[in-house]
Amino acid sequence: MMTSLRLGSMVFAAPPAAPSGRIRAHLALVSKDATAKGQRPSDPELVFREHASYVGRIALRLLGRGGDVDDVVQDVFVEATRGLGALRDPEAVRGWLAAVTVRVATRKLRAQRLRQWVGIEELPSYAALQAPGASAEQRLLLSQVYRTLERVSVNARVAWLLRYVEGERLETVAQRCGCSLAAAKRRILLAEQKIAEVFSL
C-alpha cells in the first residue's frame, strides 16, 4: 500500500513499508548520482533516507538513551527541510545535519535538566542502554560514563561525547557546537576532569 509523504510544499509518494533491496540501491544511487553531478541536495525524502541513521546515531550518542532519539531525528529533519534548498554543496549535507542534530539534542538535554530540577522528571537511568552487541562490561562502562556526564553542564557533556564517543576532531567539535576552538577545549576539559575523578584516572 502506498502512502504519501509531505515535506515542505512537495508531496512524495512514500515507498512501500519494506522496499526491496533493489529499490534501496536505486535510492542510494539517485542520491549519490545527484551529489556527484553537483546538484543541490533539495530532495528532502532522499536526504532523509540517506542520512536518517547517521542523525539517529549522533542523537543516541549525545542523549545516551533511545527513548528520545526518534523525537530528535524528526525535529532535525523538520528543520532540515527548510534549509535544504539553501545548501549549495551536496557534500555539506552531512555536516550540516550533524550540526542541526547537536543543536536539537542540546535543546532536549537542557529541557530534561530543567524538568529534573523542578522535580517533574527523575534522573535518567542508563541501565537499559541501546547498545546492541555490547558486552555486559561495555554496557556498564557506558552507563557509568553517561551517569557521570549528568553531573557536568550540557555543553561540556555534548562536547566531550562528540570528541570521545563520536570521535570528531577538535575543530569539528567546535563547529558542531557553534563555539570557538578554545571554548570547545574548555568544555571537553571540564567533562574530562569529572570523568577522571569518578573513574580514578
Partner 1 sequence: MKDFARNLEQARTHLDVTWDDAKLSSLSQGVSRRRAERRRSRAVAIASIALTVLVLFGASRWRSRSLESPTVAAVRSVVGEKSWKLADGSLAVLGVGTDLGVSSDAKPGVVALVLRAGTARFEVVPHAPGTFQVVAGDVVVEVVGTVFTVERRASRVRVSVDKGRVKVTWRSDAPFYLSAGESRELAERPVSSPTTPDSATPLARDEPNASPDPKPRASAKDWRALAQDGDFEGAYRLLGPDKASVTAESAGDLLLAADVARLSGHPSEAPPHLRKLLRVHRADPRAPLAAFTLGRVLLEELGDPRGAADAFQLVRHLAPGSPLDENALARAVEAWSRAGEVAQARGLAAEYVAKYPRGSKLRLVRHYAGLD
The binding site for partner 1 (CB under 8 A) comprises 3, 5-8, 14-15, 17-19, 24, 45, 48-49, 52-53, 56-57, 60-61, 66, 69-70, 73-75, 77-78, 81, 129-134, 137-139, 141-142, 145, 164-167, 199, 201
Return the number of the residue (38 or 197) whose C-beta is nearest partner 1.
Answer: 197
Q: Which long-range contacts (CB under 8 A, 24 or more apart) does 63-68 make?
A: 63/105, 63/108, 63/109, 64/124, 64/126, 64/129, 64/142, 64/146, 64/149, 65/124, 65/126, 65/128, 65/129, 65/130, 66/130, 68/108
CB of 131 to partner 1, least distance (A): 4
Task: Give Dmax over CA atoms of the chain in angstroms.
Answer: 57
CB of 77 to partner 1, least distance (A): 4
Distance of alpha carbon 20 from the chain centroid: 27
Return the number of the residue (35 or 74) whose C-beta is nearest partner 1.
Answer: 74
Return the number of the residue (166 or 184) whose C-beta is nearest partner 1.
Answer: 166
CB of 177 to partner 1, least distance (A): 19
CB of 180 to partner 1, least distance (A): 26
Return the number of the residue (6 or 115) whose C-beta is nearest partner 1.
Answer: 6
- Write down the number of H helices and E strands in the chain: 8, 2
Which residue carries 528532502 as its cell?
44
